[in-house]
Amino acid sequence: MNPEALYNISYGLYIITSKKENAFNGQVANSVMQISNEPASILVSINKKNLTNEFIKSSRRLAISVLGQDFPLSLIRRFGFNSGREIDKFEGVNYKLTDGGLPYIAESTLAYFEAAVVNEIDAWTHDLFLCKLTEAEVIKEGLPMTYAYYQQIKRGSTPQHSVSIEPNLKIKESKMDRYVCSVCGYVYDPEVGDPENQIPAGTSFKDLPDDWVCPVCGAGKDKFEKEN
Ligand code: FE
């Protein structure tokens, strides 16, 4: 069996949120699929170890934010590389509430759903939540972030916010070395910099401030290695 075959399955990228009593939590997930139209239903897969799983089981409800391609890496880091057991993931985040009082991300989100769990399926490491939609709204037009596109941004092969540039114009001979995060695979490309964190294009890895961290997972500079 070649596990790389699985890389050919395509996914979107979402933030799944839920609540338990008065607390909110949420996480990044790629496995959301529509099941039926009548009733409008979806299936969501969540790791059993995650706090969001516990919250969904408690409230029996969840919300889904559909991320656009311009969704900031800092928010993916916040929701995907931290645990709600250690931080309040919503602190400082631009979010709004669904009619049912669940949070969804208001920034760079194309659409959101609110759903009620009607069935739960035990799937080894994960729980599958079969849900009926209770609310569905489009926030803005745009291209949804796919899991593949996210991986491209992380590896630096598609600088974010420059989707419309002709592919040939993007490829330039770089004199400065690229560095790879050994924790998450993010590639620091001096040609791009880290605009989200005020690092202009043209900044070499060595010139990054000592307290600069990986924009995706938060690892320090010492976790980076020169790309081969
Ligand atoms: Fe990283």
Residue 173 clears pLDDT 80, i.e. is over it: no
CA distance 112 to 117: 16
Q: How far is the CA of 28 from the centre of ligand 1 (A)?
A: 15
Q: How far is the CA of 219 from the centre of ligand 1 (A)?
A: 5
Residue 148 clears pLDDT 60, i.e. is over it: yes
Q: How far is the CA of 181 from the centre of ligand 1 (A)?
A: 5
% of residues, the chain, pLDDT over 70: 92
Q: How far is the CA of 164 from the centre of ligand 1 (A)?
A: 26
Q: How far is the CA of 223 from the centre of ligand 1 (A)?
A: 8
* C-alpha dist (Å) from residue 48 to 13, 95, 108, 119, 179: 19, 25, 28, 15, 33
Residue 156 clears pLDDT 80, i.e. is over it: no
Token digits for 93? 């985040």
> Which residues are found with C-beta within 5 Å of the ion, ligand 1?
181, 183-184, 186, 214, 216-217, 219
Please answer whether residues 133 and 33 qualify as being in contact, where contact means their C-beta atoms are separated by less than 8 angstroms.
Answer: no
CA distance 176 to 203: 9
* C-alpha dist (Å) from residue 140 to 1, 68, 147: 42, 9, 20
Q: How far is the CA of 39 from the centre of ligand 1 (A)?
A: 40
Q: How far is the CA of 187 from the centre of ligand 1 (A)?
A: 8
- The pLDDT of residue 158: 66
Name the pLDDT band for 128 (thresholds 50, 70, 90): very high
State the average pLDDT for the chain.
Answer: 92
Q: Which amino acid is at 90?
A: F
- The pLDDT of residue 30: 96
- The pLDDT of residue 25: 98
CA distance 19 to 209: 38
Q: What sign results for the dihedral spanned by CA atoms 66, 69, 71, 72?
A: positive
Q: How far is the CA of 138 from the centre of ligand 1 (A)?
A: 31
